[in-house]
Amino acid sequence: MSVFSHSSLLLCLLFLLITCFNFNLVLTVSNSSNNHSSNSTSSKVPTKIGKGYRLISVEETPDGGFLAYLQVNKKNKIYGSDISLLRLFVKHETEERLRVHITDAEKPRWEVPYNLLPREKPPTLKQTLGKSRKIPLSDSEISGNELIFSYTVNPFTFSVKRTSNGQTLFDTRSTDSDPFNSLVFKDQYLEITTKLPSDASLYGLGENTQPHGIKLYPNEPYTLYTMDISAINLNTDLYGSHPVYMDLRSVGGQPSAHAVLLLNSNGMDVFYTGRSLTYKVIGGVFDFYFFSGPSPLDVVNQYTSLIGRPAPMPYWAFGFHQCRWGYHNLSVVEHVVENYRKAQIPLDVIWNDDDHMDGHKDFTLNSVNYSRPKLLNFLEKIHARGMKYIVINDPGIAVNSSYGTYQRGLANDVFIKYEGKPYLAQVWPGAVNFPDFLNPKTVDWWVDEIRRFHELVPVDGLWIDMNEASNFCSGLCTIPEGKKCPSGIGPGWVCCLDCKNITKTRWDNPPYKINASGITSPIGYKTIATSAVHYNGVLEYDAHSLYGLSEAVATHKGLQAIEGKRPFILSRSTYVGSGHYAAHWTGDNQGTWNDLRYSISTMLNFGIFGVPMVGSDICGFYPQPTEELCNRWIELGAFYPFSRDHANYYSPNQELYVWDTVAESARNALGMRYKLLPYLYTLNYEAHTTGAPIARPLFFTFTNYTDCYGLSTQFLLGNGLMVSPVLEKGVTSVKALFPPGSWYSMFDMTQAIVSKQGKYVTLDAPLNVVNVHLYQNSILPMQQGGMTSKEARMTPYHLVVTFPAGASYGQAKGNLFVDEDELPEMKMGSGSSTYIDFYATVDHSKVKVWSEVQEGKFALDKGWTIGKISVLGLGGSAGSIAIEVDGNEITSTPDVATITSSEQSYHENSDVDGVMTSVMVQISGLSMPIGKNFAMTWKMGV
């Protein structure tokens, strides 16, 4: 739920703009004569700040690092005083990763806590280096295996280059004619710029709803500071902060990608002009990590090896989820589940927003509307089907003397403080205090509260919302005397505490104003006051954007401690490393065609951020979508990694069975999703072990094909399964880009598209149809589908093998991972998993399909078998086929196998000559254990 997005769009935007504007006037207009603003409309933005720094000493550390000191050239007072002496630490931490760390040489500064995001520590400020080696002061470079760090002495600048071709990836040089500065390092203002070539395609820097698509667009604002502001707001800092970007270039036909992470949790503006990228940060340090790639998959592998591999998801999490704010009682929930069954639409997980709670209080149950005995009976029924139940949790803990969770929290001193007292805010229950998840005692208390709640209600996962953190009030507040707060009348998100603005500290009113909420609102607006204090004196000013990550870490620990099962957590606010613990949905979107389109870019960005389990509210959170839009949304949303329909309290029902046409689209699209569950789950394993996104931009596979670098209307699942949804109103076709090669329709495998150089093809897309195509050289593991993932998982496997259409020679490969999916760890060697590589070749008329199995016992014990193999794109004719499996001939008899062949049709825009033909051969009725190696061969007729 969001403070800004539960009534009509008009009311929401009016409320946001008026309240932000009024509050902003109080805090910023009165100070405008004294402070420079980052707002682009301000006439006081300085063009140049200072003269940078110079290198005054350099030495090599025993561990292969590089330590240097920088002295400011000339101090100035713009945005505060310069820090005179800086310390630079550079190290090639791995062959592919370079770290550049710049901080105050004399005093420790705030950094992302090393216990929250584990990583190597640079030398302490007072550390004796031992056998260090001094280096002469001259422009020089430090070479690593993949990356070179170069620097100049005065003014100090640095660049990062590739060793293979000398290409400059990051370059901080600044001349007098450049509109940006040399290095600036003040207590509350840090600035650095890198020059960029004009042909660099940049991706990342979120969370942000980007109207122009996945590529960063020059001169749009990119502000990173976690805020509860609806995702319908474009080019605005949203729920998460991910200060990382991927840079993809194609030079002389040779593509290469790299990434840059600035590991800093303070608020920042990032200005991208197309030729440069400037960071303006309001605290902390410069802690840069450079990842050499050179492929996009290499980049996310290297990135997630630092920040933490994505969390393994249980199998059921890839089923379909249904949620709504406004399931007033249990009978409504039961009715929804039953209606999905009647409509024959798959459903794995039913969710509750805060309707199940007693007065919106965490870890409670409404004894009237969600009677515990009846709820336990309901859960027993759905659990027997393999279905799951998830509820929401907000971090704000109600200030209520009769509320056990609050009493225990107060006794354990777990709350964020202001002037020694728990900081008071307002969220759904009314007055609340916020747990301080940076405090180890808070984590222990939270783990215990999860345990207590699970004993009350055996939930299967937790949804942690409002964790930016969201506050319906701003400033320093007290509970009003003599009136009820909230009153129970009118919107629940109107502040009813007695509050006053806090302007007395430089934390609440910093000298540089980031573009927060897109309107330069104060950074403490509608959240925790930035001068509030966490454990060990940490300021909210510094730790603000880490709140969602720290809550996810504590929640993960709590869920895993209950039954030793693999946790499922859905978090709205995220930071670098959140994907190691949680999935994400893209927040409060709107039921519009634009929001449908935006959802693709946001999903693809989170794959780059290391959060591959991501999706948007299908059909939109508010207001009610049209029937046509909901048709098209489930056709797209059925292929989100995280697939959930979720609606607002004030919207009419929009469950997929509400409209007959939407139900048909859902049966069609979700029917395919449930057949693809083995593939999606294998991608989950790949994500967990290598960081590879589940949903990927086309350039991840087709990196040589520059036409797809900006494509934001299609995407891949894995390497070669392409989804091309309808994103416009009133159309029955879609113009889809097909990179070079052969593509086969998943809904009719006899239909093929051949694209020699890459081309756009117009595809038929009637209301209930979504186009999904499988690329050549693939082996895709599927099953038969079902109404739940548990049911689908017990059906025989179907291998789909694709060769280039009509080719005399071809190779294909694929893989499959299966395991005991509720165990905490997802790995080989445990005795509870099996991994299979599938291979296929065609050499003139000879076809071979085989497997190589690792640790087959688990799959054999489960009794899972391959029942069907389909081979597409074969040249020649099927004729009379004699098939051998493991050297034994099988024939087409009812009790052994059925062999069929079909000639494939090419789309009219395919690049084929008139004589080219190919066939699909299907062998069904098989019963080959997936846990055992097999080899199948046959000869095609000529």
Residue 6, classified by CB atoms within 10 Å of its CB into exposed (0-12), middle (13-18) or buried (19+), is buried
How many alpha carbons lie under 13 Å from residue 669 in its C-beta half-sphere?
Answer: 32
Residue 530, classified by CB atoms within 10 Å of its CB into exposed (0-12), middle (13-18) or buried (19+), is buried
Query: At what angle are helices 330-343 and 660-675 packed, to 10 degrees?
Result: 80
**Cβ–Cβ < 8 Å for 397, 432:** yes
92 closest CA partner among 124, 120, 57:
120
Q: What backbone phi and psi angles, to 5 degrees, belong to 314? A: -65, 155
Q: How many CB atoms lie within 10 A of CB 64?
A: 11
What is the distance between the alpha carbons of residues 250 and 273, in angstroms, rounded to a whole number? Answer: 19
What is the distance between the alpha carbons of residues 573 and 649, in angstroms, rounded to a whole number? Answer: 21
What is the distance between the alpha carbons of residues 281 and 279, in angstroms, rounded to a whole number? Answer: 6
Q: How many CB atoms lie within 10 A of CB 555?
A: 27
Q: Note the Cα 320 to chain centre separation in Å.
A: 18
What is the distance between the alpha carbons of residues 530 and 544, in angstroms, rounded to a whole number? Answer: 8
DSSP, collapsed to helix, strand or coil, labels residue 541 as helix
Structure-token pair, residue 555: 């929640």
Among 468, 542, 819, 911, the active-site one is 468
Pairing mode, if any, of strands 617-618 and 643-645? parallel
Phi-psi region of 583 (alpha: psi -120 to 50; beta: other; left: phi over 0): beta
Burial code (b: 16+ CB inside 10 Å, e: under 16) for 648-665 equals: bbbbeebbbbbbeebbbb
**Cβ–Cβ < 8 Å for 869, 936:** yes
Q: What backbone phi and psi angles, to 5 degrees, belong to 137? A: -80, 100
Element (H, E) at 556: helix 547-563
Question: Where would I find the beta strands (DSSP E) of 756-808?
Answer: 759-764, 771-775, 779-782, 797-807
170 closest CA partner among 184, 183, 160:
160
Q: What backbone phi and psi angles, to 5 degrees, belong to 382? A: -75, -35
102 closest CA partner among 60, 55, 134, 64:
55
Structure-token pair, residue 6: 């539960």
Distances (CA, A) of 687 to 206, 286, 462, 612, 683: 20, 29, 21, 7, 6
**Strands ordered across the beta sheet of 286-291:** 133-134, 53-60, 66-72, 85-92, 97-104, 286-291, 254-262, 242-251, 201-206
What is the distance between the alpha carbons of residues 86 and 53, in angstroms, rounded to a whole number? Answer: 9
Nearest-5° Cα angle at 819, 338 to 666: 30
How many alpha carbons lie under 13 Å from residue 45 in its C-beta half-sphere?
Answer: 14
Q: How many CB atoms lie within 10 A of CB 809?
A: 11
What is the distance between the alpha carbons of residues 901 and 810, in angstroms, rounded to a whole number? Answer: 19
Residue count of the chain, please give it: 942
Among 82, 207, 465, 542, the active-site one is 465
468 carries an active-site annotation: yes
Catalytic residue annotation: 465, 468, 588
